[in-house]
Structure 1
Amino acid sequence: MRKVLQQLGKYKRSTFLCISLTTLEVIMEILMPFVTSIIIDRGLEAGNLPVVYRYGALMVLMAFLSLVFGATAGKNAASAASGLSANLREAIYANIQTFSFSNIDKFSVPGLVTRMTTDITNVQNAFMMIVRVAVRAPLNLIFSFVMCLIISPRLSVMFLIAVIFLVAVIGIIMVVTLKIFRQVFRKYDDLNASVQENVTAIRVVKAFVREEHENIKFSKASKTLYDLSVKAEGLLAFNNPAMMVAVYFCIISVSWLGAKFIVGGSMTTGELTSLFSYVMSLLMSLMMLSMVVVMISMSLASIRRISEVLSEEADLKDPENPIEEITDGRVDFNHVNFSYKHGSGKNALSDIDLHIKSGETVGVIGGTGAGKSSLVNLICRLYDVDEGSVCVGGVDVRRYDTEVLRNQVSVVLQKNTLFSGSILDNLRWGNPDAAEEECIEACKAACADEFIEKMPGGYHARIERGGANVSGGQKQRLCIARALLKKPKILILDDSTSAVDTATDASIRAAFRTMIPGTTKIIIAQRISSVQSADRILVLDDGKVDAFDTHENLLKSNAIYQEIYTSQMEGGGDFDQPA
């Protein structure tokens, strides 16, 4: 709770102003029945019209002030609640930007989306109700009860019995529903995951005619959420019957005992009239409090989930005095062990001892799951090693400023991502200050200029979200050009030419040799033709180094490399290879 409320920031003033104005509004409302009793007893029954006029005018003024205080309090409550939700979204988003991949995996993308939308909306609604209703209702209840005690201490005992009954019922409901709401929000995560997966892969779903299967899967997730929501709301429905029992008990008690007291002369008609007003005010306050309890029950689960994200610290942190400069593109793996789940006992990489010279071109090849992507993820410190060290420029990557390291280690990942905007906007992700001529030069090196010039608008042509209006090969070439604009000391291509033909692949590699000769190039590929011209080739098998040598030597001595070469070159694996 404290973590969430810390995000109020500049909206604390609106919050306290709302509370103050609500208090004044309640005071005005509480005094009006008291003035009514004076009008009845001293004015109407005594036939004293000046008293009626005087106190009547006072009531009009009090009603007007109550209206002004209430409206201003409502405006400040809306400002504070909306400001809190905006600050929470910004705080969560800012913290997510610091997360490593392992932090993201812990929460999942749909889970984070639910926290930033559904959960924050729940907190916003609850906060607005708390600063208005949760302040107004207790004050109204306390002041009403005090006035009841002043008018008739004996009748006030009846209200106390009703309050104790309602507090007991509401407390039991709150404890039970809070557990259910925690499950409800976890199911929201599952539902969002199902929607995200389906929409993202809609082309695959339609290609395999799996719409019915996806509908059934979504219906199951939706039905589970429905059942839990019905269970929670069914328990909350007991609020109203309990409330009505308390209301009827108080009305019958006051009517019966009040009539006896008037007949006995211990109470006036005006006092009984004002007492009825205070009874209804007291009971309405209890009803509002029960609504607040319902909202708090829902929001507590959301607050806990939001606090988890706000409290989460990134697994990867910069050292106190980080190194701000990378001297060259040397890469050294010193007996590295790495697993995605620390302590699981299953390593993705085991005892990797590898040394790459600055400016060297290294190919990486191996079967699926051999650890190729895991290896390069450690160079730019997307993950940290379990044992050993990874050094760039002779320095452990954990000693660098992360931003400096990633600016000098440019990665084109397996999954290429483009963002909505122009081609130039996407290219400048690599270098925000790059001139258009630099962008064109990078695109020529990546063999992307040939298709860009054919697009309407050329380099100013719009890319749709996710690069939906360009092919897989075009997307890969744009991502390579984007990486080149960073002018990195190390360039990593993680199977990022798999969607281009071998002739274009060869042209890209030739451009690398002339355009960035001093850059260390690490090329992960499935095709032998993509790596055979490299200075050395690393063969990985089950997360271990099987061999690290030149193409010629590997053909003579390494069984895995010989098998891959034979299956591709002699078996005609590369149908688009030029004759």
Structure 2
Amino acid sequence: MDVLRQLRGFYRERLNYLILSILCLAAATALGLVYPQLLRKLIDDVIKPGNYGDVLWIAITAVSVVVVKALLQFLHGFFGGRLGNFLAYRLRNACYEKLQFLSFRYYDTAKTGDLMSRLTGDLEAIRNFVGFGFAQILNLVLMVAFGSTMMMTISWKLTLLTMITIPFLAGVALKFESKIHPAFQEMRQALSSLTSAVQENVMGVRTVKSFAREPYEMEKFSHRNERYKDNQIFAAILWSKFFPVMELLASISVAVLLLAGGTFVIKGEMTLGELVAFFSLIWYIIGPMWGLGFHINNYTQSKASGERVLEILNQQIDVRDKPNATVLDPLKVKGFVEFDHVTFAYGNKMPAVTDIDFKAAPGSVIGFLGGTGSGKSTIIQLLMRAYNVNEGSIRLDGQNISDISVHSLRSQISTVFQETFLFSSSILNNISYGMNNVTMDDVERAAKLAKAHEFIMEMPDGYDTVVGERGMGLSGGQKQRIAIARALLKNPKILILDDATSAVDMETEQEIQSGFQEVMRGRTTFIIAHRISSLRHADEILVLDEGNVVQRGTHKELIQVPGPYQEVYRIQYADHLARATRTEGEAESS
């Protein structure tokens, strides 16, 4: 029950629903004890002496008990359902909120399918148990207590004889629980893996088809599906072993009851009506024991699910605001960025960047060039406080960004990522995402600067055109230009372009670059690029290799110095340089 205690804060406000649900179920259970007494009365006081005048009131009493019991069962379901739904609602919101604030470090290893499984199937298992299962387990205890008490009032000897197998029933149930819980944990993990496989396949369907990897994906899914099937079979085997033993022990109790009870009736130690009533009451004990496996099943599933949900809720947030974090005044932010000997590593790996040191004056343009894994994107992510630095510090207008509230810091930064993400919504909503009180003129101006306005207007519904999931239906360049428009509309003090024009052609890149010249004025801009053409106008270019700055300077300075920058320049402009050399040679020969 430790999981339920940890989740108590989510249903404490509606604890009265749980109490009312339990009381209604307990009252319904208590009313059920009237039936054996009516049977005893009917046999001993009506049928045996022939006093048939009492049949009517016995029938009326039975009907009244049925009606009241049905009402109590309804109230139990009503209050239990309200409690379960309230808990699921609070938990779902809490998990989603936690996912919004979890750091990038968590998402580096998290799987979308697994998270979806936790927020759907696991939450449903918790809802069912808290809403109904918990009350049912308490009711099981009440049924055994009520039933055994009434049996003792009829015949304590027969009670002791028939209950001789009850401890064995309880022992088998507890042993079953100890084995089924790990099985359900493994089953939930297997289901998460299966869900992740489906999610990845659907999201990457174009890549799968372009590489003709359908057979491979089917085989991968089949392996995960087989793992889930094996877990289901293992759980079914446990159940198949459990139920026959339970039924055997229950049958022994009934056989002892009939043998000993019949002997007591023959000897006159108890009446026939009492034996019939006793036979009805024994099921008040055997029934719960049989159902104990079902309740243990629900409990173990909810326990395994609760542990998985708590993993999210208890996950540490690496990047969080300090108690007295500064909230930036947008009107006072200048955009002066300083990296002071910054070193950072992902987990226990080798440092991704080492001793990064530079200053970006307000309105300046800083470029980053380097191969894959050189640390370019890491520098940008550290500026956004996606991660905390290991050594050194990053300052904005002279203040350490770790002392600034994360929301306030990021509200001054606008980023165009290399991998463009668009929501399944209209183009208008994608461009104005996160912005309030923007006019249509503002949206169109940003789209024109990003060279996106023309192709948007050619679409059937213009800016109201709904794009598919992750921008399906648009080309890579179109998605990237919409993302650029979204970044420009934010009107930030710091603009980050992470290879923002990689998906457009050279001609469009030149048009977008010319538009950038206008929006860069008064903003500190960081450009990550593989194309020299995107960096040549930067105030300073940092060339990185394996997390270290190996060259720095302007475009004119760097192309004059032997090194990585000059090599990239020669490769990208080889044709241009060759043409220039031929022209010079022809001029000399003439």
Calculate the TM-score normalised by the size of structure 2: 0.93
Aligned partner of 1:17 among 17, 20, 29: 20
Q: Equivalent residue for 2:585?
A: none
1:275-290 to 2 correspondences below 5 Å = 275-290=278-293
1:88 and 2:68 are equivalent in the alignment: no
Aligned partner of 1:418 among 415, 422, 431: 422
1:330 and 2:336 are equivalent in the alignment: yes
1:400-447: CA deviation from partner (whole Å, max 9, x where unpaired): 111111110111112111112221111111422211001111111111
Does the Cα contact within 8 Å between 1:129 and 1:292 map onto a contact in 2?
no
Q: Equivalent residue for 1:247?
A: 250
Sort the Cα spacing of 1:260 and 1:535 in 2 relative to 1 into closer, same or farther, 3 A.
Answer: same
Does the Cα contact within 8 Å between 1:502 and 1:530 map onto a contact in 2?
no
1:469-497: CA deviation from partner (whole Å, max 9, x where unpaired): 21111111111111111111100011111
Mapped partners of 2:218, 2:478: distance in 1: 33
1:263-289: CA deviation from partner (whole Å, max 9, x where unpaired): 111101110010000012221121122
Mapped partners of 1:167, 1:346: distance in 2: 55
1:65-76 to 2 correspondences below 5 Å = 65-76=68-79
Aligned partner of 2:499 among 495, 520, 523: 495
1:408 and 2:396 are equivalent in the alignment: no
Q: Equivalent residue for 1:564?
A: 568
2:460 corresponds to which letter in structure 1?
P
How far off is 1:237 after superposition? 2.2
Q: Equivalent residue for 1:577?
A: none
1:361-376 to 2 correspondences below 5 Å = 361-376=365-380
Aligned partner of 1:349 among 344, 348, 353: 353
1:304 and 2:307 are equivalent in the alignment: yes
1:149-200: CA deviation from partner (whole Å, max 9, x where unpaired): 1111111123432221111111111112212222222222222222122111
Mapped partners of 1:219, 1:518: distance in 2: 56
Q: Equivalent residue for 2:588?
A: none
Mapped partners of 1:284, 1:92: distance in 2: 38
1:202-254: CA deviation from partner (whole Å, max 9, x where unpaired): 11111111100110111011111111221122112223212211221111101
How far off is 1:296 after superposition? 1.3
Sort the Cα spacing of 1:262 and 1:430 in 2 relative to 1 into closer, same or farther, 3 A.
Answer: closer
1:195 and 2:201 are equivalent in the alignment: no
- Unaligned 5+ runs, structure 1: 574-579
How far off is 1:90 after superposition? 1.4
1:430-509 to 2 correspondences below 5 Å = 430-509=434-513
1:522 and 2:548 are equivalent in the alignment: no
2:532 corresponds to which letter in structure 1?
I
Name the SS of the counterpart of 1:348 in structure 2.
Answer: strand
Q: Equivalent residue for 1:576?
A: none
Aligned partner of 2:394 among 381, 390, 395: 390
Mapped partners of 1:411, 1:13: distance in 2: 49
1:236 corresponds to which letter in structure 2?
W
Aligned partner of 2:107 among 94, 104, 107: 104
Does the Cα contact within 8 Å between 1:547 and 1:558 map onto a contact in 2?
no
Mapped partners of 1:182, 1:83: distance in 2: 25
Name the SS of the counterpart of 1:172 in structure 2.
Answer: helix
Q: Equivalent residue for 2:580?
A: none
How far off is 1:302 after superposition? 1.0
Aligned partner of 2:277 among 265, 274, 295: 274
Question: RMSD between aligned alpha carbons?
Answer: 1.7
- Unaligned 5+ runs, structure 2: 578-590
Deviating more after overlay: 24-33 vs 497-506: 497-506
Name the SS of the counterpart of 2:409 in structure 1.
Answer: helix
How many equivalent residue pairs?
Answer: 571
Mapped partners of 1:159, 1:92: distance in 2: 49
1:39-66: CA deviation from partner (whole Å, max 9, x where unpaired): 3212222222344333332222112211
Give aligned-pair identity as a percent: 33
1:166 and 2:169 are equivalent in the alignment: yes
1:495-551: CA deviation from partner (whole Å, max 9, x where unpaired): 111011222222222222223400011111111111112121111110011122100
Mapped partners of 2:556, 2:172: distance in 1: 81
How far off is 1:572 after superposition? 6.9
